[in-house]
Amino acid sequence: MPKSINWFVRTITFYETSNWKAMDEALENEQRNDYDEQLHMLKNAILLDPTNKQIRTEYLEALQKSYTFYQIVLAPTTILKRLKPWQILIGWFANFLLAKPFLIVFVVLYILTHWVTKLLVHLKVFGWTFKR
């Protein structure tokens, strides 16, 4: 009996470490903007542990980020990550004073893109089933 428990613990430990390695690699790929590789790593992580809610959520977000239009809309955020907070504040203030309509259009475009890609991912993964 102790041998079987020891084997069970080793097996669980192996799957947990493999799962977390896949999650870490997926997060590194997201930071490098390598969305296809991130999607591949998360797909492997889901195969190892399909009941983990965090992995499923990360997978759905990775699917959302894999759309080209979403990547184009998110391209300025990679530039914004490099700026200091005061530089971002001055940039938003200058844009607000000089080009209010463009600023509003970009915010609306971002929100629209977010929800449309979220809907496309839902349709791709779950189909046309909606909870009532």
pLDDT, tens digit, for every residue of 24-48? 565 565 656 667 777 777 777 777 7
- Strand ranges in the chain using DSSP code E only, listed in sequence order: none
pLDDT in the model for residue 1? 44
Percentage of the residues of the chain whose pLDDT score is greater than 90:
5
Tokens 């977000």 correspond to what residue? 61
Residue 5 has pLDDT above 60, yes or no: no
pLDDT at 24: 59
What average pLDDT does the chain have? 75
pLDDT per residue as tens digits for the range 89-121: 998 888 888 888 888 888 898 899 889 988 888
Most confident region among 19-33, 51-65, 69-83, 110-124 by mean pLDDT: 110-124
The pLDDT assigned to 21 comes to: 60
Task: Answer whether 78's CB lies under 8 Å from 33's CB.
Answer: yes
Instruction: Please say if the pLDDT value at position 68 is more than 80.
Output: yes
Integer Cα distance of 35 and 42 in angstroms: 10
pTM exceeds cut of 0.85: no
